[in-house]
Chain A
Amino acid sequence: AQSVTQLDSHVSVSEGTPVLLRCNYSSSYSPSLFWYVQHPNKGLQLLLKYTSAATLVKGINGFEAEFKKSETSFHLTKPSAHMSDAAEYFCVVNTGFQKLVFGTGTRLLVSP
Chain B
Amino acid sequence: KAGVTQTPRYLIKTRGQQVTLSCSPISGHRSVSWYQQTPGQGLQFLFEYFSETQRNKGNFPGRFSGRQFSNSRSEMNVSTLELGDSALYLCASSANQNQNTEAFFGQGTRLTVV
Known: A98-B50, A99-B58. 16 other contacts (CB 8 A): A36-B105, A43-B105, A43-B106, A43-B108, A44-B92, A45-B105, A46-B103, A97-B56, A98-B97, A98-B101, A99-B45, A100-B33, A100-B92, A101-B45, A102-B35, A105-B42
A97–B56 Cα distance when bound, in Å, is 7
Taking CB atoms, residues of chain A closer than 8 Å to B31 are: 98
Give the contacts of A26-55 with B (CB-CB under 8 A).
Answer: 32, 34, 36, 42-46, 49, 51-52
Q: What total of A-B pairs shows CB separation below 8 Å?
A: 64
Check if B97 sits within 8 Å of A97, measured CB to CB: yes
Number of chain B residues close to chain A: CB under 8 A: 27
Q: Is B63 an interface residue (CB 8 A)?
A: no
Say whether, besides A43-B108, A44-B90, A102-B43, A97 and B48 are in contact (CB < 8 Å).
yes
Taking CB atoms, residues of chain A closer than 8 Å to B50 are: 97-98
Say whether, besides A32-B100, A46-B104, A98 and B33 are in contact (CB < 8 Å).
yes
The B contact surface, by secondary structure, is strand
Taking CB atoms, residues of chain B closer than 8 Å to A52 are: 100
Chain A residues engaging chain B, CB cutoff 8 angstroms: 32, 34, 36, 42-46, 49, 51-52, 90, 94-102, 104-105
A81–B64 Cα distance when bound, in Å, is 40
Q: Tell me, rounded to whole Å, the shortest Cβ–Cβ distance linking B92 to chain A.
A: 7
Q: Tell me, rounded to whole Å, the shortest Cβ–Cβ distance linking B7 to chain A.
A: 13
Residue of A nearest to B57 (CB): A99
Say whether, besides A98-B56, A98-B94, A99-B45, A34 and B107 are in contact (CB < 8 Å).
no
Q: Tell me, rounded to whole Å, the shortest Cβ–Cβ distance linking A37 to chain B.
A: 11
A32–B94 Cα distance when bound, in Å, is 14
A105–B50 Cα distance when bound, in Å, is 28
